[in-house]
Amino acid sequence: MKQFTSVHDVPDPEALVKEALALKQAPRGSLRQSGNDATIALLFFNPSLRTRLSTQKAAIELGLSVMDYNAGQGWQLEFEDGAVMNMDKAEHIREAAAVISQYADIIGIRTFPGLKDREQDYSDYILRQFQRYARVPVVSLESAIRHPLQSLADWVTIEEYRPAHRPKVVLSWAPHPRALPQAVANSFLEWMKLADVELVLTHPPGYELAEEFTRGVSVTHDQNETFEGADFIYAKNWSSYQDYGRILSQDAAWMITPEKMALTNNGKFMHCLPVRRNVVVADAVLDGPNSLVIEQANNRTYAAMAVLKSILES
C-alpha cells in the first residue's frame, strides 16, 4: 500500500482486516524490527486522544520512531497555490510538506472540516495538498470527510463479534449539541459496503449524507423499525450535509437507550468515541455488557499497525 487516505487506497480491505486481527494476536514486542529504523511524523491540526495515542503505540510496536507535532499550534500554513502571503499565514504547504518529508518516512495528518464551505471540505483540500507536496507516503488520521483508520478498527471489531449468521449492521444518527463532521459516518459506510453484512442507515430527515457514500445503502427515517433484528448499532452524530454544517435537530428521541437496544437481536453497541453520555447514548447502554466502545478503541492500535506495516513493506 502506497498511502492510506481512504478505502480506495487499500488493494484488499478484507485482507487488511485479517492482518489487523492477526497482529492483535502477535506477542508484544515481536514486530519491533518491522520499522527498519524508519520515522513517522504525526501532525495534528485538531484534538485527538485515540488516534494520536493508538497510532503512536502502533508505530512503537513496529519499531518506528515517532515525531508528534501539534500542527494547529505551529506556523499557520497557507494551502492555496499562488497565494500572496501578506496576511497571517507564515508558511506554505509546499515548503512545509517537503521539509517534513526530509525528517520522516511516513506523514500522518489529522484535520477536520471547517463545516462552512462544502465544496472545499469535500475536496479534502488539506489532506490532498499534503499528498501533493509530500515526498513520502501520507496516512489520514481523519480528514475533512473520512476517518479510515476508525473504519478499519470498526470492521475489525465487527469481525471479532460476528454472529454465525450474516449480521445486520445499523448506522444510526444520534443527537449532539455541537455541529460535527460527517467523516466517521461517511467512512463507516464506505468500508462496511465491502463487508459481508446487511447495512442500514437511519437518520432524521435532513441528515442525508453525500450520495457517493450512501449509494447502494438502505436508508430509513424510522429508527425503531430499523433497530429490529440488528446485531450491531453504530451511533454517531453528524451535522447536515445538505444544509451544510448546520444542526437541524437535537431530537432527544434519537438517543440510544436500553429500550431501543431491546428491539435489536441482542445487538452490540458501537461508537468511535469521544461520546456525550445521556445525549448520544444512555449510561445503561454505554456501560452495559453489549457495549463494544472500549474494544473498538483498542482495535485502533491494530488497525494502525496493519496500515503502517503494509506501507513499510511496500
| CA dist 37 → 31, 88, 100, 109, 312 (Å) | 13, 37, 17, 21, 11
Question: Is 87:21 a contact under the CB 8 Å cutoff?
Answer: no
User: Stretches 77-85, 154-162, 236-244, 271-279: which one binds ligand CP (CB under 6 A)?
Assistant: 271-279
279 three-state secondary structure: coil
Is the Cβ of residue 219 or residue 275 nearer to ligand CP in the bound state? 275
Tell me phi and psi for residue 129, to 5 degrees. -70, -35
Which residue, 78 or 142, is less far from ligand CP as judged by CB?
142
Q: Is 77 helix (H, G, I), strand (E, B) or coil?
A: strand
Decide if residue 298 touches ligand CP (CB under 6 A): no
Note the Cα 34 to chain centre separation in Å: 25
Cα–Cα dist 209/120, whole Å = 16
The verdict on 65 binding ligand CP (CB under 6 A) reads no
Grid cell, residue 178, equals 455541537
Q: Per rule CB under 6 A, is residue 272 in the interface with ligand CP? A: yes
Q: Does 186 bind ligand CP (CB under 6 A)?
A: no
Q: How far is CA 89 from CA 46, 86, 306, in A?
A: 17, 8, 36
Nearest partner of 175 among 257, 242, 267, judged by Cα: 257
| Per CB under 6 A, 61 contacts ligand CP | no
* Single residue of 15, 22, 26, 49 touching ligand CP by CB under 6 A: 49
At closest approach, how far in Å is the CB of 309 from ligand CP?
Answer: 20
Hey, what's the torsion of the CAs at 232, 237, 239, 240, to 10 degrees? 30
- Asked if 129 contacts 93 with a C-beta cutoff of 8 angstroms, the reply is yes
For ligand CP, which is the closer residue by CB, 226 or 256?
256
Sole window of 75-83, 111-119, 194-202, 267-275 interacting with ligand CP (rule: CB under 6 A): 267-275
Q: Does 66 interact with ligand CP (rule: CB under 6 A)?
A: no
| Stretch of residues binding ligand CP (CB under 6 A), selected from 15-23, 45-53, 124-132, 244-252 | 45-53
* Nearer of residues 146 and 268 to ligand CP, judged by Cβ: 146
**CA triplet 218, 221, 227: central angle to 5 degrees?**
75
Window contacting ligand CP (CB under 6 A); options: 206-214, 252-260, 272-280, 283-291 = 272-280
User: Does residue 301 belong to the site contacting ligand CP (CB under 6 A)?
Assistant: no
Task: Say whether residue 50 binds ligand CP (CB under 6 A).
Answer: yes
Q: How many CB atoms lie within 10 A of CB 75?
A: 12
Nearest CA-CA partner of 99 in 66, 134, 140: 134
Looking at 60, 179, 217, 273, which residue binds ligand CP (CB under 6 A)?
Answer: 273
User: What is the smallest separation between the CB atom of 7 and ligand CP, expressed in angstroms?
Assistant: 16
> Pattern 123-152, binding to ligand CP, x per CB under 6 A?
-------------------x-------x--
Q: How many residues touch ligand CP (CB under 6 A)?
A: 10
Task: Compare residues 52 and 276 and give the one whose CB is closer to ligand CP.
Answer: 52
154 binding ligand CP? (CB under 6 A): no
List contacts with ligand CP (CB under 6 A).
48-52, 142, 150, 272-274
